[in-house]
Every structure is written in structure tokens, then in C-alpha cells.
Amino acid sequence: MDEDDHVYEEACTVSPSKIPAVGPRPVCSETASYIPGVGMRGTSQPKVWSYAVRKAIPVMTIILLSCCLLGTFIFLAMRASSLKLSVIELDRKTTTATGLSDLRLSISELDQKTEMITAVTADLTNVTAWLKQAGKTEDFSGGLEENGSVLHDVAASYRAAHLANSEPPATMRNEKTLQQLDEAEDNMRTTLLLRGHQVFILNERTGDVEDKAAFDTWRKGGGFGAARQMTTFLEGVTEGRIIVITVHDTGGTPVNLARYGSTITHPGTRESYAMITQKGETPSWFVEKKSARGAGPTIVETFIPT
């Protein structure tokens, strides 16, 4: 019994301090790990780090989205400002181009007016030549040449007045034209309206211009009232007198000239027209012609026997 007790004591030796030589390991569900340069770390640290990261990600996302939205707003604002400036510049260029186009159109219409007045002068000159060939007097020739000179002066003054005022010819009324013609030394201003029918009555024996008149047969001007006045004027002409009728701009209202040999109802818009006939029976040397718009002046020729 003593031996067994001794053996047991040797196997179960207790230190003098009564503390086991090898203490029990602490019971822990976590295992330690080594971090280079840091030391040992418990498994609870990654969980804390992951939680902080999860909290920071939404905040960072909101900040990034705010920056993107702010950048987009600034970009759109700059583009809108550039677009407004572009529209303003385009409006200015469009206004300038429109003004230049109107000026070019005005000059073009003015040139057409001048050509038409020149055509009337040429027609009167041709009448002078025809009457000279027929053995008419030199006094009539001088009168027509003087009237032609007046026509040239009127054309020049009209062009100068137009360029000074920078107004389209279509907006110039007959009253303004007559003011320009007041400076003429004779009474030709009653025959130089810039639109409608111009009528000259010549003596068949002497060639003198016995009467003349102008009728604004433009549809928006005198219209049918002017056409009736012209018909009444021709009815009052003495039998046998030579009748010269011209239209160099806008005589669109129909005038009944069939009794004087005409087969043309009325000139169209911007068409020119010329006719030489005689009151009474239609003569064998009757002539008339119409030219289309833009085709130039209308020129007719005839021989009046003595």
C-alpha cells in the first residue's frame, strides 16, 4: 500500500506553488493570426473593418454621383450659352443677308424701269423716222426729239432719286414720280406715269402731237376705272388721226381696242406692248406687238403712206 502511494505521488507531482506546471489553454472560439509588421490579430478585427467599409461605400457613392451631376449641369449650361450666342449671330447674319437681297432686288427693278423708259424713247424715235420717210414736216421731228430728251432726263432723275432714298421702285407712287416731272419744261409729265397705257394722238397730215394722255391701268391702281377713261378718250379722237399706244409696265386691266384693229386683249404682268393704228377704218399699215416679261422692250415698225 505504501509503494502504490509513492508511485502515485511521483506521477502526480505538484509544484510548490500549487500551480499546475502547464496551465490549461484558454477556451476561445477565435484563433489568432500574425500580421507582418503588426503582430498578432484576432479574428474579430476583419469584421470591424468590413463594417466600416460597408458604411463608407454609400457615402462615397453619393459624393461621386453628386460630382458627376454637378459636372453634367456645368457642361449643359456652357452648351446652352454657346447655343444662344450662335442663334444671335445667325439672326444678325440673316438680317444682313435679307437687307442686301432687298437692295439688290430694288436695283434690279430700277434697271427694268429705266430700260422701259428707254424703250418708250426708242418708240418715239422710230415714229419720227417713219414720219420722215413718209415726207412729214421737220417740226414734228424736232418735237419728238425734244420729248425724247425729256424722257432721258426723267429716267436719270428717277434713278438718282431711287438710289438716294433706297426704296424699291414698286413702292414709289405716281404722285412722287409727278413731283420729279414738275421740273420738265413742257407738259409731257401727264404721259410719263411709270405704269399703265400711254396714248399719243398725231395729226395724219402734219405729224404734230395733238393730244396725249396716260392711264393707270394697273389692276391695283386705276384698274377698270382707268380703262373706261381710256375708252372714252379714244372715242373722242377725230376720225383719221394716228393713234400710238404703248405699255411699258403693268397695264393688266383689259381695254377694248378691237375697234382699232387690236387682237391682244391686254398685256400681262410686267409685259410691254406697242400699237400704231388710225381712228376709223383699220389701216393696212396697222401694227401691234407684245413682249413677255424680261424679254426687253417692244419695238414695232410700219410705213405710213402719204
**How is residue 293 annotated by DSSP?**
T
Give me the DSSP letters along 52-113.
HHHHHHHHHHHHHHHHHHHHHHHHHHHHHHHHHHHHHHHHHHHHHHHHHHHHHHHHHHHHHH
- Which one-letter amino acid corresponds to residue 89? E
77 neighbors 115 (Cβ within 8 angstroms): no
pLDDT tens, per residue, the chain with 306 residues: 455 544 444 444 444 555 454 455 544 444 455 555 445 555 545 566 677 777 788 888 888 888 888 888 898 888 887 787 777 877 777 666 666 666 666 667 666 766 776 666 666 666 556 655 555 444 444 444 555 554 555 445 444 444 444 444 444 444 554 454 455 444 444 444 567 889 999 988 888 899 999 888 887 777 888 889 999 999 999 999 999 998 887 777 888 899 999 988 777 777 888 999 999 988 999 999 988 887 878 888 888 876
Q: Given this model, what pLDDT does residue 243 score?
A: 94
Give the three-state DSSP class for 306. coil
The CA distance from 33 to 30, in Å, is 10
Residues 6 or more apart in contact with residue 137 via CB below 8 angstroms = 206, 207, 208
**CA 150 from centre of chain:** 37
List Cβ neighbours of 110 (8 Å cut-off, separation of 6 or more): 159, 162, 163, 169
φ/ψ of 131, rounded to 5, equals -70, -30
Q: Where are the alpha helices (DSSP H) in the chain?
A: 2-11, 44-133, 138-165, 174-181, 223-235
> Would the pTM count as exceeding 0.85?
no
Amino acid at 35: I
In angstroms, the Cα distances linking 110 to 167, 175, 241, 243, 278 are 10, 17, 35, 29, 34
Quick one: pLDDT at residue 251? 78
Cα 167 to Cα 11: distance, rounded to the nearest angstrom: 135
The domain limits of the chain are 111-291
Which residues fall within 8 angstroms of residue 30, CB to CB, at 6 or more apart? Answer: 42, 43, 44
pLDDT at 158: 45
Q: List CB contacts of 117: < 8 A, sequence separation 6 or more.
A: 151, 154, 155, 158, 192, 194, 248
Contacts of 123 (CB under 8 A, 6+ apart): 244, 246, 274, 297, 298, 299, 300
Assess contact for 118 and 272: CB atoms under 8 A. no
